[in-house]
Amino acid sequence: MQLQILKKHQLLLALAFIVAFLGSFINAEVILSDDFSSGTLTGWTSVDEGATSGPSIWGVTNLSGNMVAIQSSNIYSNHGSDIHIGSYLKRLSSSVQNYSVSLDVMSSDDDYNGIMFGYQNSSNYYRFSISNQFANRTLQKMVGGTFTTLASDAVAFTLNQWYNIKVTVIDSYIKVYVDNSLLFNVMDSTFSTLGSIGLYVSASQNGYFDNVLVQSVPEASSIALLLFGLAIFALHYKK
């Protein structure tokens, strides 16, 4: 009987170690958080691609006491086609494989705004964009300089309204959420690492961005291992 109690305590201790150890993997880790309250774009690099109405004008502005990033030129190329490039504000270079990118976006212009992620270089990345004029929300990948549409719908964003866009890339599944509602769920493993992210505009004079949050997401295998440990513990404890 005493031996049994001792064994239970040892098992509990072992479990505590397992939980503590795996906890470090289970917790999402913040890779980047920027609410632009610093008033600067330190750490960000602008990349202009649009041949018309450039250059870009990126900065930080105060909207009713909230500091946000703004792009205020109408820079664009290939308007209305799948390409619709313009300018982006780039950051990070990460080899993390499972991740989430969240940000708030708003525009007083009716053109393209969005987010680039899984960015390996200027010819290889994922891009989610929204357009009021062309009434669509589109997830694309650019591979070797050529865009392919992965998912699209026919909904226009509302001018001057903040939207939260969240993208998760976990085990080759790309999920796009708008205001916490799942919009797209696509399987694609072309770009397996986070790479860089980009705050994206095309012909969007006064595109606003805020609350950029990039996190690593725990791998399913870590969670499975923890559940396995818990199951073993439960079985022993039941005896």
Select from 165, 210, 215, 218 the one that contacts Ca ion (CB under 5 A). 210
As given in the structure block, the two tokens for residue 10 are 């040892």
How many residues bind Ca ion (CB under 5 A)? The answer is 10
Instruction: Specify the residue, 126 or 209, whose C-beta has the smaller distance to Ca ion.
Output: 209
Cα separation, 198 vs 32, whole angstroms: 13
* Extended strands (E) in 64-111: 66-71, 87-94, 99-107
Q: Is 34 in the site for Ca ion (CB under 5 A)?
A: no
- Interior/surface letters 149-173, b for 16+ CB within 10 angstroms, e for the rest: ebbeeeeebeeeeebebbbbbeeee
3-state secondary structure of 146: strand
Stretch binding Ca ion (CB under 5 A), from 40-48, 74-82, 87-95, 166-174: 74-82
Cα(210)–Cα(102) distance, rounded to whole angstroms? 9
Does 104 interact with Ca ion (rule: CB under 5 A)?
no
| Shortest CB 233 distance to Ca ion, Å | 44
Task: Decide if residue 35 touches Ca ion (CB under 5 A).
Answer: yes
Range in contact with Ca ion (rule: CB under 5 A) among 20-28, 63-71, 124-132, 226-234: 63-71
Query: In whole angstroms, how close is the CB of 123 to Ca ion at the nearest point?
Result: 25
